[in-house]
A and B are shown apart, each in its own frame.
Chain A
Amino acid sequence: MTSVVLESVRKSFGSLEIMKGVDLTVEPGEFCVFVGPSGCGKSTLLRIISGLETTTSGQVFIDGKDVTDAEPSERGIAMVFQSYALYPHLTVAENIGFGLSLAKRPKAEIAERVKQTADVLQLSHLLDRKPKALSGGQRQRVAIGRAIIRNPKVFLFDEPLSNLDASLRSQMRIELTELHAKLGATMIYVTHDQVEAMTMADKIVVLNGGQIEQVGTPMTLYNNPASPFVAGFIGSPKMNLFDGEIAARENCRTYGIRPEHIALSSTEGKWQGKVRHIERLGADTVVYLDVPELQTLVVRTDGDRPVKIGETQFASPLTGKEHRFS
């Protein structure tokens, strides 16, 4: 069980500062997810932990040891890339055993450990194939196998599921969570998909513009977002956020209410608006209301609620669910 600690990590490319001083502790055995929009520095932060990128200033500790200047191979980490980065000229077995063969382990030992790893990931029947003969999900598993076989102290994932289709992605989410439970290793996972973050993480780190916006468990971030940015990023459809006059009336700079925390009524309510657009998702219906004082208000309501475009509806926030950011 290994902890990862970052102390005021900064990274600049020329005059452009990408990481603006990041302090973070990932506890041993934790599944920690970095989320944020494109260009927020989450991948850079992961690459700094892996050692593929150096820090401009600040320190990185893995297992209590300062590894800021250590080579990636000395850090006890394994990384799964977004593109999988399988070696196209090697078979699945050679791909998985590549690290061991570089370390000049005996052939029998490599074969044995490759077999064990392949069994865990259900790849045993594919060991002689080349990566180009595999499906996306299988390639993903090979990439994970290459990471597992090294018994790393920390697993790093760089958007590993973004190239898979939706159904495979949800299956792999479950598999990765189970793998985490089985191995008990510390895992750091980068994604821009808040669903992945919410479903898999023990701890979510929301990054924005090279800084940490908030760190917490998924439900903490959902219930008590520290800033409008976090509020808008976690949850789907995203929270309704209003500045200006509305916010001033509520004594705050930004006023927010989640679509699922608004009650619709056809007779009375706090806001009156016209239905502009309806999305029927089956279990839920998402209604877009044109409210004159708010512009668009998104409301999530029951799946079979009879609403029609052009109708007038009333919306009221549930008490205790409103967010006021100052």
Chain B
Amino acid sequence: MSRRQLYTGIAALAACGVIFVLPFIFIFITAAKTKQDAATLRFSWPVEWQLWQNFVEVVQTRNYMLLLAYFNSTVITVAAVTLLVLFGAMVGYVLQRRPSRWNTVIYGCVLAGLMIPPAIVPTIWVLQLLGLFKTLSGMVLIQVAYGLGFTVLLFRSFIATIPRDLDEAAIIDGAKPFQIFFRVILPLLKPVTVTVIVVQSIAIFNDFTNPLYYLPGRENVTVQLTLYNFQGQFQTQFNLLFMNILLVTIPPLIVFIFFNRQIVAGMTAGAVKG
């Protein structure tokens, strides 16, 4: 490594530290402060460490609302990501493998899903008509609909790299279309599936606006909405707010750390002559 590379490396690390690590430290320190201490919003050492007390208070607020929020968010995230992977892979497979003039239309719809911003009020009308407004299943469907365009795009391009010979070998072996998909294609999609799981679960878990619009009601609270618990018109309890932020940040962080190591490409190595 040359001296120049070393310096640019250090500079880049420092910049990343300022952008990513400093805010996190600020959140952590403020979450440990007392109410008065936190209200000054200074980047200073806590006068008195109150990490555990703040934690207990945040969890207990509004009759353990945070726990309910965790439950709701987890249900929505797991259900939506499962459906996204399943449908994304299926649609991507059909779009990539079966030539049909309908595919152009369907692909156009997928791209439109990426480009055209969703209209909130008509969507709510549709949800009300279906009896899904203010329900977790309705929220799951909304998240699936919003994420499907991107997911289909990812799966479709990945499936293009899987040799068609594998499908045909399975057909000769007597596999029905569903068996080809579930026993041959889907296992080979592991790298892109992991990517979809990481990206979508973090996006859905961290989603603030969509639950705010489509999932009103005390029972339906999601983790991001619990942040409102400590913000009022005249007063904000910054120590508790930041403790809440800290707690809400942890699950996506775990998902990212856990799956980041699993993103391994090259599953198809060996399928074709090497």
Contact = CB atoms under 8 A, between A and B. Distances in A.
Contact of B166 (A50, A52, A87): A87
B172 A132 contact: no
Given A84-B272, A87-B166, A99 B174 contact: yes
A87 B187 CA distance: 10
A82 B273 CA distance: 9
User: Which of A52, A89, A103, A163: most chain B Cβ within 10 A?
Assistant: A89
Nearest to A149: B173
A101 to B, nearest CB: 9
Contacts of B188: 88-89
B174 A88 contact: no
B174 A83 contact: no
B169 A79 contact: yes
B163 A132 contact: no
Most chain A beta-carbon contacts within 10 A, residue among B169, B175, B190, B268: B169
A52 B163 contact: no
Contacts of B48: none
Interface string A188-199: 000000000000
Contacts of B184: 87
B171 A52 contact: yes
Contact of B270 (A50, A102, A131): A131
A98 B171 CA distance: 11
B271 A83 contact: yes
A88 B172 CA distance: 17
Contacts of A73: 171-175
A133 B274 CA distance: 10
B173 A146 contact: yes
B93 to A, nearest CB: 16
Interface in A101-156: 102-103, 130-134, 136, 139, 146, 150
B129 interface: no
Contacts of A139: 270, 273
B169 A81 contact: yes
A88 B269 contact: yes
Q: Using C-beta atoms within 8 Å of the partner chain, give the interface range for chain B.
A: 20 to 34
A103 B173 CA distance: 9
A163 B168 contact: no
B173 A102 contact: yes
Given A88-B188, A89-B187, A102-B175, A81 B273 contact: no
Interface string B154-166: 0000000001011
Contacts of B172: 50, 52, 72-73, 77-79
B271 A131 contact: yes
B82 interface: no
A85 B169 CA distance: 6
B271 A86 contact: yes
A86 B273 contact: no
Given A52-B171, A79-B172, A89-B187, A134 B270 contact: yes
Interface string A296-315: 00000000000000000000
B177 to A, nearest CB: 11
A89 B166 contact: no
A83 B270 contact: no
A85 B163 contact: yes
B83 to A, nearest CB: 23
B224 to A, nearest CB: 37
A69 to B, nearest CB: 15
A81 B168 CA distance: 9
A83 B173 contact: no
Interface in B166-217: 166, 168-175, 179, 183-184, 187-188, 190
A130 B273 contact: no
A225 to B, nearest CB: 33
A213 to B, nearest CB: 28
A136 B272 CA distance: 10
B22 interface: no
A44 to B, nearest CB: 13
Contacts of B257: none
Contacts of A81: 165, 168-169
B267 interface: yes
A102 B182 CA distance: 12
Contact of B274 (A50, A71, A82, A132): A132
A103 B174 contact: yes
13 contacts: A52-B168, A73-B175, A79-B169, A81-B165, A85-B168, A87-B166, A89-B188, A89-B190, A102-B173, A102-B175, A131-B271, A134-B270, A150-B173
- In the complex, the 7 A-B pairs of residues with the closest C-beta atoms, listed nearest first: A132-B270, A73-B174, A85-B165, A99-B173, A85-B169, A131-B270, A163-B273
